[in-house]
Structure 1
Amino acid sequence: MSSIEALAERAGFEIEWKNAHKVMQRVPETTLRILLEKLGLPCGNATQIKQSMAAVDAEMSGRKLPPLITAEVDRGIALPLSAAKSGTRYRIELESGAVIDGRFTSPKGEIALLSPIAEPGYHTLVINDHRTTLAVAPARCYTIDDAWRTLDDDAPHAPPLWGVAAQVYGLRRNGDGGVGDFTALAALATQTAKRGGHAIAISPMHAMFSAEPDKFSPYSPSSRLFLNIAHVDPAAVLGAPALRAAIEKAGVAAELTELEGLTLIDWPRAMKARLAILRALFDTFSQDQASPLAKDFAAFVEKGGRPLEDHARFEALQAAQIAENGGGHWRNWPDALRDPRSEEVAAFAQAHRREVDFYLFAQWLAAKGLMHAQHAARDAGMAVGLVADLAVGCDSAGSHAWSYRDEMLTGVSVGAPPDLFNQAGQSWGLTTFSPRAMRTQGFSAFIDMLRCAFARAGGIRIDHILGLRRLWLVPDGESAANGAYLRYPLEDLLRLIALESWRYRAIVVGEDLGTVPPGFTERLQEHGLLGIRVLWFERAVDGPGFKPPHEWDGGVTATTTTHDLPTVTGWWRGEDIVLRSKIGQTMARDDGRDAVEVALEERGEDRELLWQAFQDAGIAPTDVDAPDIDNAPVDEALVFVAATPAPLVTYPLEDLLALTDQPNLPGSIDEHPNWRRRMAQPVDELFLDDAFADRLLAVDTARKRSVQLNEHTSKPTESP
C-alpha cells in the first residue's frame, strides 16, 4: 500500500470497492490525491502526507473528549483513555435537570466506562472544566407500531397500512398559480385518509433559489433547513380577500390563469408571479405590527434564530449579486460576502432589512402551510401523515453551503458509481457534510437538518441512506466513474436519527436501493428504520422471475416504483429503455447486437414472468395470457404489492392513475420534462374519478387482507 493509499484509508476513503457485478475495483491514486486535497488533507509531497496523517491521527486518537459522544440508553458509554483517568470525578447533567455524580475507577490502560443512562436526551458530561454533550438515544426509532398506538392505545401492533406518494409540485388546485401548493397537499391527505390511507409520502420541500427559478430539481436544493416558497398558498394564512388584493396590485391575474392551464410547469414564470404576489402581501402585512399574525411571525423569526436569518440574507444577497454582475454562486461573490459572519454581510442586511424580512415572511408562510397539511392529515385520521423527503445533499451554490461552509465538502459532488440502471454512473452536483467536520463540530449541522426535516411531518424518508455509511464522491469536472467511497460515522448518525425521531414522534424510512453492503439493511432494521422495496427489483432468488409477495421483506416500505424509475405502464411498454437510450445511457454490446432491441426483448420476457407472478399469487386469472404491451396490468401490480408483509405500502399517484411518464429521468436535462409534470385534474376531482376511486378501494381491501410477518414471528415493538 502506497503512502497516498494509507492516508486515504486512514481518512476514511475505501481504496477498494465492489461494483454492481461484484468485481473488485481499486481507486487510482490520482483520484485519491484530488479527494484528499478536497477534504483538507494536502498530499502533494512526502512532508504534506506526513503532516496530514498526523492531523487525522490526532482527530481519531481520542486524546481529548470530542464535543459530542453518542450512546444508547441502558448501555455503558466508552470514553477515550486519556480523557478519563482513574480517580477522576465526573458529573452528568441530565436534560431533565437531574444530576449523576461519579468517579472513574477503571484500571490503568483500560477503556473507561460511564454507567448506563436510562434517560434519552442530550445530556452534559463534565470532567474537570471540560463539558461534552452525551447524546443518549433510544435503541430504535419511532415506528409505525408506535404511530398506530396514537390511534389505538391497546393495539399490540399496527395493521398493514398504505399511503400515497405525491410530487407536490404536480398537484393541481383551482387558483394555485401553476404550481402545486400546501393547500392541495392538505386536500390530498384528507381525501386519502377518508379512503383508509395513513401516509402521504411527498417530494422534497427544501428551499430552492428565489433568484434562480430555473433551478427547480427538489433534490438539488439551496438549503435542507428551510422550505420551498413556491408551494405557498398565499390565501391560506392571510385570507382570500388579501390574496385577491395582492393579485390585483401585482397585476398578474391573466398570467396566473395562463400558468394554471399549462400541462408542464413553467418554473421561471410561475415563481416570478408567486414572488410578485408575496411581495404585495408583505407590503400590506408589514404595516400592522400588533396583529396576532404579526406576533406569530415575530415568534417564528425568533425561534428560527441565526440559521433562518442567514437563509434570508442569502436570498437577498444572491438576488442583489445576480442583478449587479450575474454572480449566482456565492464563491464568485466578493471575498467579504462569502463569509456569513463578515461585517460586510451584516451591513448589507442592515441596508436591505426590508428585503431580508420579506424572505423571512415567505418562510413563515411556507412553514405554516406545510404544518397545516400535516395537521389536516392527522385530523383526518392518519396514523403517520406526511412523510417528508430529505435529499442526500444540497447545491454547493446555495444558502446551506454558504451558511455552514466550514461543515460542508467543497470541490466534489455526491453521486453513485456505475450500476445496472445507470451504466455511466451518476454525479449529482451536490455537496454535503464533511465527516471530519461532523466530529469536530459535534454533529451540530446534521442535528439542525434532522430537526428541520422532522418538524412538520409524521415521518421522513432519507434519500440514499447508504450515505450514512459511505458516499461516492466525484471530484468536480471528473466523470462519475472516477470517484471513491468516503466512510461516515454510521453508528453515531443512526443514534442521532433515533433520538430525534422519538423527540418528534416521527417514523424514518431509508432509501436503501442500489448496491447495498452486506449487513447494512439489518443494521437499519435493528435501529427501527424502514428500508424500501420496489417491485422491479424484487426478483426471485433462484432462477428467473419475481418474488411472490410473501417472500418480500417485512421491515420495509413497499412500492410499485419511485420517481426515478418507470411507472407500471411505462415499464410494461418499455418506455424507460427507449428514454435511457436517447440520453446515451445504453452501452454498446460486445456481440454487436442492437442494445435497445435486446433490452426490449428481455423486457418482453420479464412481462411474462411478472404476469406469471401475479397468477401464482392468485391476483391474475391462470387461464388468461399476459395483456398486450398497450394494456399494462396496473390494478394487478397494485394489489400484488399490497399483499406483501411490509407494514407500509405507498403508491405513486402516477400508478394510481395508470400514467406512462415518470417524474424524473436520471441523467437527462432537456430531453425529459423532469420535475414539471402536473396532474390533469385538481385533487378534489381525482377522487371523483371512478377508475382512481376503484384502485384506492382495491388497495385498501388488499391491505386489510394481507398479513404482516411479525404477527407470527415477532413480538410487538415496545416503547424504548
Structure 2
Amino acid sequence: MTQRTPALAQLADVYGIATEFWDWQGRHARVPEETVVAVLQALGVDVEGDFVERELALVQEREWRRLLPPVVVVAQGVDPVVPVHHEAGTTPTATLRTEDGHERSLGMQSGEQEEEREVAGRRLRRVLLDVPTDLPLGWHEVAVSAGGEQARMSLVVTPPTLGLPAGLGEDGARAWGLMTQLYAMRSSGSWGIGDLADLGDAGAWAAGLGADFVLVNPLHAAEPVGEMEPSPYLPTSRRFVNPLYIRVEDVPEVAYLSAAQRQLVEWHADDAQRYLALDVIERDPVWAAKEAALRLVFRQPRSLRRSRAFEAYVEREGQGLVDFATWCAVSQEHGTFWRQWPTELQDARGEAVEAYRQQHADEVEFHCWLQWVLDEQLARVQRDLLDTGMSLGVISDLAVGVHPDGADAWGLGDALARGVTVGAPADQYNQLGQDWSQPPWRPDKLAELGYGPYREMVRAALRDSGGLRVDHVIGLFRLWWIPQGAEPFQGTYVRYDHEAMIGILLLEAHRAGAVVVGEDLGTVEPWVRDYLRERGVMGTSILWFERDWDGDGSLLDPEAYRELCLATVTTHDLPPTAGYLEGVHIDLRSRLGLLDRPLEVEQEEEARSREEVLTDLRRRGLLRESADVPEQVEALHAFLARTPAKLLGVSVSDLAGDKRVINQPGTDEEYPNWRVPLAGPEGQPVLLDELVTWRSARRIARAVAPDAR
C-alpha cells in the first residue's frame, strides 16, 4: 500500500483532495491513506509503487507543457490571467474572437510574470497575455501561435454578481409562489400522474392568488424501459426531461390521427387514468400506456413547418441529444444498465455505437422527438404563466447528480469519475454518513472540456424557466467522494473551481433572466454563504431550522432572516407542515427502526421544539391559544411574510392539508418515497380540480400575500 508521504499529500493537494478536514462536531479528522489513493486513482493518477514522485513532477509541469490552458473563467471587470508557455526564442502571436464574432490582436504583458524553465528537454518561456478587462459577458475564444505550435482556449466572462429581475430588486419587493412535486399533483385529465398541463393549470390558479412562481421537483429524464427510478433526484440525465410529463392530447399531431388511432389513444388514456384511484404513484404502467400512445402520434406525418421546427431543435441540441437518444434506443434492447451491455456498445464514441445508431435510426429519432415535444410543452407553460402576470413563472430544480448506470454516465465518458460515488460525511442527522450512489464530475476533465458538458446542462435547466434551484449548491465548491466498496464515512472532500462553476451558472442565468436559489442547508463552510450572497445566489431558509447558531441558539426573529433567500416552512425531506406539527415523521421513523433514541425521548424533544415556535407565534399575535392545526399552518406562513426574504415558498401539500411524508431520508423500499400522491387532511388523494376550489388553500395564500384575490 502507498504510504502517506509529503509527496502524496502534495499530489492530493494539487488535485484538490482533502487529506484532513474538520467534522460536524468541530473535530480535526485525518483522511485514511487508502481513501486518498483511491480518489487519486479515480482521477486517473498512477500512485502505485514509486510513481508518486513522478506523477507529482508531471502534474507540476502540466501547465508548462501547454501553450494555453484549456479554459479561463473570469468575472467581468477582473483582469484575466491567461498564461502562454512557448519555446524560448519564438515570438507568440495571439488573437481574441468574441462571441459575437469580433476579432482583435492581443499583446503580451511584460514584467515579473515572465519566467523560463527547462521542461522535458525544452527551454520554455512563460508570459501573460494582455487581455482587456472590458470584455462583454460571454464565451469568447483566444488563439495563440508560437514556433509552429497552435492552441485555442475558451475565455468565459461572467457577471460579477447576478442581479435580481425587475421588481424584486426594489426595496421591500418580494415574490411568493407554489412548491410542488409535479408527479404527485394530479388532475382529472392526468394520465395517472401529474404532467405539464397540470403544471400550467396550477400556475394559472396560483397567479390568480397573486403568486409569481411555481417551483417544481427536478423534471430530469428517467429510465425509458424497465422499472423507472421514483426519485427525481437520481435521474438518468440532468440535461434532458422525463417524457412521463408529456400531456399527450396537447401534441399538435394528435389532431390529425384517424378515428381508429384516436380511439387507441383514448383507450391508453383510460388505462392510465385508472391509477388516479390508487393511493400510490404507479410510474411504470402509466409510462407504458403513455409511450404506446406517443408512438402512435410520432408516426403521424408532420407538416413542413413542424418538421423544420423538429430539425432545428435536433441541430440546436447537437451530439448530446443524439447520445441520449441512442442510449434510450440501446436500452430498449439491452436494458438500462449500460455496463452490462455488449462490450462494444459501452463506448459512446465507438464505431459499434455509431453503427447501432444507423441501424436503429427510427428509434433514435423517436427519443429525440419526445424531447422536442417536452421542450415545446415546457416553453408553452412558461409563456402562459408569464402571460397570467407571474414575474418568474416556472422555477426548475437541478439535482446534484445522476444514476451511475444512466445516459449521462454513459454519454459523458470520463467527464464523470469512475470507482467513486458522491455522498455526505457523518453529521448530526446521520452519523454514518450518506452514499448517494452518483458519479461526480471530474474537476480536471471539466476544465479540459472547457466546462462544455456543465454549460449545456445548466443551459437546459434554465431554458423556459424564470429561476433555478440548485440542490446541494455546496457541491459546486466541494463534494464528498466515497471510494467504491468503502463506507460513507471513509470518504473525503474533493474541491472544484468554484469561481468557474458559479461563474458559468451566473452567466447562463443572466442570459435567461432567471434567479438562482442555492440549497445551502447542512454542513457549509462559513465563507461559502458569504461568497454566494456576494455573487447574487439566493440561499434557502427553512423556518424550523432558523436559529441564532452564532449566539445562544434561540429562534431567529423574522427580521433577522436573510433577504437574499427562498424562505419556506417545510421542504420535501420533511412532512408537510400539518404532519410535522403532529409529529408524523417521528412515528414513521420509529416504525421503520430509524431512531437511535427511545421514541418517548424523540417525541418529547420534537414537541418541545415545535411548542417553542408556536409560543413565539402567539407572542407576536399571529396565533390564538386554542388554535387548531390548520390555523397553526396559516400562522407559520404569516410569520414568513414578516421576514425580508425575497422569495417565499408555499408547498402545495400545505395548501391541501396533507400530512404524509414525501421522502423519508435513510430509506429505500421500506417507505414509498416519491410515490405518495397529493392528499387531503384525512389522507385521501385529492385532485388539482378539487384543490383549486378550497377556501383553506386561499387562506394560506392570503397569509403570505395579503393582496391575494
**TM-score (norm. length: structure 1):** 0.89
Per-residue deviation, 1:414: 0.9
Question: What displacement does 1:5 show?
Answer: 3.2
Change in Cα spacing, 1:578 to 1:130, as seen in structure 2 (3 Å) is same
Please give the alpha-carbon distance, in whole angstroms, between the structure 1 residues aligned to 2:54 and 2:708.
Answer: 60
- 1:656 match: 655
- The letter for the 1-side match of 2:572 is H
Instruction: Give, in whole Å, the separation in 2 of the partners of 1:226 and 1:253.
Output: 24
Which residue, 178, 200, 205 being the options, matches 2:214?
A: 200
Amino acid at match of 2:318: G
2:173 to 156, 159, 173: 159
Per-residue CA deviations over 1:176-221 (Å, capped at 9, x if unaligned) read 1111100000111111111111111110011111113332211111
Q: Tell me the equivalent position of 1:476.
A: 484
Equivalent residue number for residue 281 of structure 1: 297
* Per-residue CA distance 1:395-450 (angstroms, 9 max, x = gap): 11111111111211112211111222233321111123110101111111111111
Matched letter for residue 148 of structure 1: G
2:117 is the alignment partner of 1:104: no
Q: Offset of 1:544 from its aligned partner?
A: 5.0
Matched, 1:260 2:260: no
Which of 334, 338, 342 is matched with 1:321 structurally? 334
Please report the RMSD computed on the Cα atoms of aligned residues, expressed in angstroms. Answer: 2.4
1:597 to 600, 606, 610: 600
Contact 2:637–2:704 (Cα < 8 Å) also in 1: yes
Match in the other structure for 1:718: none
Matches within 5 A, 1:134-283: 134-143=155-164, 146-148=165-167, 156=170, 159-238=173-252, 241=255, 246=261, 248-249=263-264, 251-283=267-299
Task: Give the alignment partner of residue 699 of structure 1, picking from 698, 704, 707.
Answer: 704
Aligned position for 2:121: none
- Look up the match of 1:617: 620
Q: Spell out, residue by residue over 1:150-187, the C-alpha distance to the aligned partner (whole angstroms, 9 max, x if none).
A: xxxxx845712111111110111223111110000011
Structure 2 distance, partners of 1:499, 1:313, is 30
Pairing 1:332-343 to 2, within 5 Å after superposition: 332-343=340-351
Q: Shift of the alpha carbon at 1:702?
A: 8.3
The one-letter code matched in structure 2 to 1:311 is F
Paired residue for 1:639? 638
How far residue 260 of structure 1 moved from its aligned partner, in angstroms, is 2.3
Once the two structures are superposed, the pairs formed by residues 375-524 of structure 1 within 5 Å of their partners are: 375-524=383-532
Q: Which residue of 1 aligns with 2:35?
A: 31
Query: For 2:59, which of 39, 56, 61 is the aligned residue?
Result: 56
Retained in 2: the 8 A contact 1:423–1:585? Answer: no
User: How far 1:12 sits from its partner (Å)?
Assistant: 0.9
Q: Secondary structure at the match of 2:21?
A: strand
- Separation in 2, partners of 1:245, 1:26: 69
Question: What is the deviation of 1:6?
Answer: 3.2
Mapped partners of 1:643, 1:180: distance in 2: 33
CA gap of 1:356–1:656, structure 2 versus 1, over 3 A, is same
Contact kept in structure 1, 2:423 and 2:488, CA below 8 Å: yes
Cα distance in 2, alignment partners of residues 306 and 335 from structure 1: 22
**Matches of 1:506 and 1:490, distance apart in 2:** 20
Q: Does 1:312 align with 2:316?
A: no
Contact preservation (8 Å) 2:630, 2:657: no
- AA aligned to 1:682 is L
Q: Are residues 584 and 5 of structure 1, via their aligned partners in 2, closer, same or farther at CA, if it must alter by over 3 Å?
A: farther
**Paired residue type of 2:229:** K
> Shift of the alpha carbon at 1:531?
0.8
Offset of residue 676 of structure 1: 1.2
1:147, distance to aligned residue in structure 2 (A): 4.0
**Residue 711 of structure 1 corresponds to which residue in structure 2?**
none
Distance 2:250 2:269 in 1: 18
Deviations along 1:259-302, whole A, 9 cap, x unmatched?
Answer: 1222211111111111111112112x2xx254432332222222
CA distance in 2: counterparts of 1:245 and 1:584, whole angstroms: 53
Encode CA deviations 1:339-391: one digit per residue, 9 max, x unaligned.
12222112212221211111112111111111111111111111111111011
Distance 2:354 2:48 in 1: 38
Aligned counterparts of 2:172 and 2:151: Cα–Cα separation in 1: 45
CA, structure 1 residues 437+585, in 2 after alignment: closer, same or farther (shift >3 Å)?
Answer: farther
**Alpha-carbon separation, structure 2, partners of 1:45 and 1:617:** 67
Map Cα deviations across residues 608-658 of structure 1 (whole Å, 9 max, x no partner): 21012213333224xx26x68x77721111111222111111111112223
CA offset at residue 87 of structure 1? Answer: 7.6
CA shift at 1:130, angstroms? 2.6
Q: Using a 3 Å threshold, how does the CA distance of structure 1 residues 686 and 277 change in structure 2: closer, same or farther?
A: same
**The 10-residue stretch of structure 1 (568-577 or 392-401) with the greater mean CA deviation from structure 2:** 568-577
Pair 1:43–1:87, CA change in 2 (3 A): closer
Percent of aligned pairs with the same residue? Answer: 31
The residue aligned with 1:567 is 576
- Contact 1:455/1:504 (CA < 8 Å) preserved in 2? yes
Within 1, Cα distance between the matches of 2:253 and 2:201?
17
TM-score, structure 2 as length reference: 0.91
3-state SS, counterpart of residue 519 of structure 1: helix
Tell me the amino acid that sits aligned with residue 595 of structure 1. Answer: P
Contact 2:272 2:285 in 1 (8 A): no
Q: Counterparts of 1:642 and 1:307 in 2: how far apart (Å)?
A: 43
State the alpha-carbon separation in 1 of the partners of residues 535 and 288 from structure 2. 44
**Equivalent position SS for 1:529:** coil
Greater relative CO, 1 or 2 (CA 8 Å, sep 6+)? 1
- Letter of the 1:600 partner, please give it: Q
Distance 1:493 1:692 in 2: 39
- Aligned partners of 1:469, 1:189: CA distance in 2, in Å? 33
Q: 1:703 to 1:68 in 2, by over 3 A?
A: farther
SS in structure 2 of the partner of residue 318 of structure 1: helix
> Contact (CA 8 Å) 1:424, 1:585: kept in 2 or not?
no
Counterparts of residues 74-89 of structure 1 (less than 5 Å): 74-80=77-83, 82=85, 88-89=92-93
Tell me if structure 2 keeps the 8 A contact 1:117–1:136.
Answer: no
Residue 566 of structure 1 aligns with an amino acid whose one-letter code is P
CA 1:543/1:210 → structure 2, altered by over 3 Å: closer, same or farther? same
Give the whole-Å Cα distance in 2 for the aligned partners of 1:173 and 1:311: 30
Structure 1 residues not aligned, in runs of 5+: 150-154, 323-327, 588-593, 705-720
Structure 1 683/55 Cα, relative in aligned 2: closer, same or farther at 3 Å? farther
Contact 2:172 2:644 in 1 (8 A): no
**Contact 1:643/1:703 (CA < 8 Å) preserved in 2?**
no
1:56, 1:565 → 2: CA distance? 45
Structure 2's unaligned 5+ residue stretches are 115-126, 679-684
Give, in whole Å, the separation in 2 of the partners of 1:214 and 1:133.
38
Q: Cα deviations across residues 516-542 of structure 1 (Å, max 9, x unaligned)?
A: 102101101111110111112102344
| 1:207–1:221 Cα contact (<8 Å) kept | yes
- Select which of 267, 291, 294 maps to 2:307: 294
In structure 2, C-alpha distance between the alignment counterparts of 1:134 and 1:293, rounded to whole Å: 37
